[in-house]
A = this chain, B = another copy of it.
Amino acid sequence: MRGEATAAVEAWLKAHTPRLLDELFFFLRIPSVSTDPAYAEAIRDAAGLLLRRLARIGMQDVMLLEGGGHPSVFAQRADAPDTPTILIYGHYDVQPPDPLALWESPPFEPDLRDGKIFARGATDDKSPLWIALSALEGWLAVHGTLPVNVKLLLEGEEESSSRSLPTILAEHRDRLAADVMLSADGGRFRPGQASVNTSLRGVLALEVRLRTAAHDLHSGRYGGAVGNAAMALARLLASLHDDKNRVAVEGFFDGLQRPGNADVASVHALALDEAAFLAEVGARPGAGEPGVALLEALWFRPTVEVNGITAGYQGAGSKTVIPCEASAKLTCRLGLGQHPAKAAAAVVAHLRAHCPPWADLSIEHPGDGSAAYAVPEDDPFLAAVSRVIEDVHGQAPVRVGIGGTLPVASMVKQTLGLETVMLSYAISDERAHAPNEFFRLSSFDDGLTAWARVLPELAAARR
């Protein structure tokens, strides 16, 4: 499939890889944490670096798109009439580096060890994003034009629930108009297995707080007579699942669709060794829904998870106190077809119905949540990306779901009417969000090849 034009770009990229990596390391040194206001200046630095690079490599209309929070970076080139317009997505913000003590090298001093780049943001999402920009640079350096029309949307708040993105998308609807979104974020299944992402779960978050008295009470003076907020919370949280580990919230599953046949076939084709998968993280079988394959559970089944509980005395030794307050953070992963607001309302109604009359319940919603997303099985851009992956890796890619969420996918579907296909060179074992996050050098090389080839391949695809 590879023409001479593409081969020249690949040769250029190969020759310039050391410089491209140097620049990536510079990008990784910027602590662009979006969740903590202390890093606001670093966020601006990272956006500024992208603006300069995009202008330098020859992108046009390079600008910040503001939406009230951290801006997105935009740029475009329309060099190829009669080709589709590809909206390339990535994000330049990163998760906080905590816990710092567990890093073997400082999170913002990228370190090359054993063929891996260790740094916060290495796999999520700075290297995958850098690969995409480098492919554009290669095409522009060698040919002076791109083989397909390209727009860029580089977000600065992906790790903060994409708070401002709906505003940015709505305000710049025309500017962002395209035929498909191509995401540099996403993830490959595992090393040595060609794969293509075809779905994402949604997410919604709730914070639950119970109050049972004006202040903490002495368990001797009041125990047996007054309610215990920690106990009440435990009972409330326990009511969220039945004894088969299945979510027991009435109405929660409303709208949930079964995964498509091709996706179910993938689950079986991959024949995951479930016990080994769990053993890798020190977990044991039996915590999932009986009769549901592990990958089906991860990719397509909704969940209600308790992310944290705070109640009463947590110091050393014992303290005979009856906590007056207890709180829990919950997040739900959503399957295809579930509406985030309706699923949240079902959980809230369940909690209210199960809260004892002697406790005050308050519930906060940090954000609106995101729906799950799946690219249609017959999407021509998905087919184009799949052909490129097969070409580069010599293996037809397996369709894989992502258990996590890219809020942008459902947002651009809703606001811009675009489907999202993903071409990420991150791999799911690279410790995204965790200490010692890394990215494989070999993925950088493969990614440059794939991104160099995907641009002309998409030029020929049309819905």
Which A residues contact B (CB, under 8 angstroms)?
35, 161, 201, 203, 205, 207, 212-215, 217-228, 230-231, 233-235, 237-241, 274, 277-278, 281-289, 292, 294, 297-298, 301-303, 305-314, 317-324, 326, 328-329, 331, 333, 356-358, 366, 402-405, 428, 432-434
Contact = CB atoms under 8 A, between A and B. Distances in A.
B303 A215 contact: no
Nearest to A328: B230
Contact of A308 (B313, B366, B428): B313
A189 to B, nearest CB: 12
Contacts of A331: 219, 318, 320
A282 B213 contact: yes
Nearest to A229: B306
20 contacts: A201-B220, A212-B283, A212-B287, A215-B281, A219-B305, A220-B402, A223-B298, A230-B237, A230-B307, A234-B237, A235-B238, A284-B358, A286-B357, A308-B311, A308-B314, A308-B319, A309-B311, A309-B314, A318-B329, A320-B404
B230 A287 contact: no
Copies of this chain assembled into the complex: 2
Contacts of A213: 281-283
A461 B416 CA distance: 93
A312 B313 contact: no
A331 B395 CA distance: 60
Contacts of A318: 161, 205, 207, 307, 329, 331, 366
Contact of A405 (B220, B404, B405): B220
Contacts of A218: 404, 432-434
Contacts of A212: 283-284, 287
A403 B224 contact: yes
B226 A333 contact: no
B219 A287 contact: no
A357 B287 CA distance: 8
Nearest to A327: B314
A221 B403 contact: yes
B227 A298 contact: no
Nearest to A367: B318
Given A238-B238, A303-B219, A305-B219, A227 B35 contact: no
B312 A306 contact: yes
Contact of A222 (B231, B298, B326): B298
Contacts of A201: 220
Nearest to A221: B403
A224 B244 CA distance: 12
Contacts of A288: 224-226
Contacts of A434: 215, 218
Contact of A366 (B217, B227, B277, B317): B317
Given A220-B333, A284-B358, 12 more contacts: A161-B318, A205-B320, A222-B281, A223-B298, A224-B298, A225-B297, A227-B284, A231-B240, A235-B238, A238-B239, A282-B324, A305-B322
Given A205-B318, A215-B282, A357-B284, A403 B323 contact: no
Nearest to A200: B220
B306 A309 contact: no
Contacts of A297: 224-225
Contact of A294 (B215, B225, B285, B428): B225
A262 B154 CA distance: 78
